[in-house]
Amino acid sequence: MMNAGHIDLSKYRKEFPFTKEIVFLNHASFGPLPEKSWRATEEYYKYLRLKNMADADKEAFQILDNTRKLIADFIKANPEEVAFVTNTSYGLNVAAGGLDLKRGDKILLSDVEFPANVYPWTNLKQKGIETKFIPSRNRCFDIDDFVKAIDKRTKVLSISFVQYFNGFKNDLETIGKICEENDVFLVVDGIQGIGSVDLDVKKCKIDFLSCGGQKWLLSSLGTGFFYLSSEAKRKLNPCFFGWMGVDWGLNWTDLLKFDLKPFTSARKFEIGTFPYSLLWSMHASLQLLSQIGIKNIEKHNWELLNLLIDYLNDSPYQVESSLEPLHRSSILSFSGKNIKRLYEKLIKNKILVSFREGSIRVSPHFYNTKGEMERFVQML
């Protein structure tokens, strides 16, 4: 009973003790911290901040390197193309602030983007850079409309990997090809997909991707990363620059060196001391996800959502998400009469989902069981 798809759930359920009391189907809002990741944070504090107080720079930087590597594996990039940030927005601002954009240049966005991927771009208005919203169709990004919107002034498309409220997975492979052909810099907000949906940033020709760790990566608030492709590196300058952007070779005894060269890797954009305790736990969470495998997670989540779709197809509710395999993710939304009341009833009964843009949004992760899904469907 504890097996679903390829995942032996009995190995992992203990990492999420709250599952004894609540059914958590809300990873598109925030992900829980696995027990082992919490222990990693505790260990960091005990070892380095409460008791031992050892100066463990080598160990710390090794964990950072390993974490960059785990992230790179998830998105099929090189670790040198990965840098840490504190949230998705910070990374998107690195792109918006670092591109060499001029008065009259144009940024394209979908009109159903999460605001984190809007404000960094509209903020460029003060420099005379225009943001144009491509109207969505059925609340989904339409590639033909995107192609029509491209003109000589278009320099950037910034788009979500997976749309936050209906889980629409954008066809980044096709979008990336179009961007390359038209010399448009492709920025992706990855937070609603990375950790539960497979992505190959190279195949999709993504120039830049930003992703907070707090949702599908089951990491602490205040963690995240961005990817900058080595081909696109020359197009981006650091809008902030700090002492962690240059290579000290782990030697902190002689710091009055003001002429060190920036890293050639994405670390050039990392500016100061890292939130070690958070990255310690992120490292543990990524290890867990990588042990299970993103493709297995994706398959598992689809199977769970299929149970819901089967029910919804024969119910008074309407599925608001695309069911085309190319556009499916780990998020499914549905609407219907008195939907807000239903949402409130679910929350009261400790079945946690979210309510977004008029629909109930359901977002299971790898440790959710068929039994939990059936309980949810029964409540409907």
Ligand X SMILES: Cc1ncc(COP(=O)(O)O)c(C=O)c1O
Residues that bind ligand X (CB under 6 A): 87-89, 114, 116-117, 160, 164, 189, 191-192, 212
Q: Six-digit token pair at 104? A: 């009259």
Q: For ligand X, which is the closer residue by CB, 4 or 96? A: 96
Q: For ligand X, which is the closer residue by CB, 117 or 321? A: 117
CB 118 within 8 A of CB 109: yes
Q: For ligand X, which is the closer residue by CB, 90 or 343? A: 90
CB 107 within 8 A of CB 121: yes
Kindly state the smallest distance separating residue 289's Cβ from ligand X, in Å. 18
Q: For ligand X, which is the closer residue by CB, 114 or 240? A: 114
Kindly state the smallest distance separating residue 202's Cβ from ligand X, in Å. 22
Cβ neighbourhood burial of 272 (10 Å; 0-12, 13-18, 19+): exposed
Kindly state the smallest distance separating residue 295's Cβ from ligand X, in Å. 22
Q: In the chain, which ranges are continuous DSSP H helix?
A: 35-45, 57-75, 88-98, 119-122, 143-149, 172-181, 276-292, 294-313, 339-348, 370-379
Kindly state the smallest distance separating residue 97's Cβ from ligand X, in Å. 15
Which string of DSSP letters, residue by residue, matches 85-152? Answer: -SSHHHHHHHHHHHB---TT-EEEEETT--GGGTHHHHGGGGGT-EEEEEPPBTTB--HHHHHHH--T
Using DSSP's 3-state secondary structure scheme, residue 84 falls into strand
Alpha carbon distance 45, 94 (integer Å): 30
Torsion of CA 213, 216, 221, 224, to 10 degrees: 10
Q: Six-digit token pair at 374? A: 């059936």
Kindly state the smallest distance separating residue 213's Cβ from ligand X, in Å. 8
Kindly state the smallest distance separating residue 221's Cβ from ligand X, in Å. 8
Kindly state the smallest distance separating residue 192's Cβ from ligand X, in Å. 5
Cα–Cα distances in Å, from 220 out to 48, 194, 318, 334?
Answer: 19, 15, 34, 29
Q: For ligand X, which is the closer residue by CB, 117 or 368? A: 117
Kindly state the smallest distance separating residue 308's Cβ from ligand X, in Å. 20
Which string of DSSP letters, residue by residue, matches 136-174? Answer: PBTTB--HHHHHHH--TTEEEEEEESB-TTT-PBP-HHH
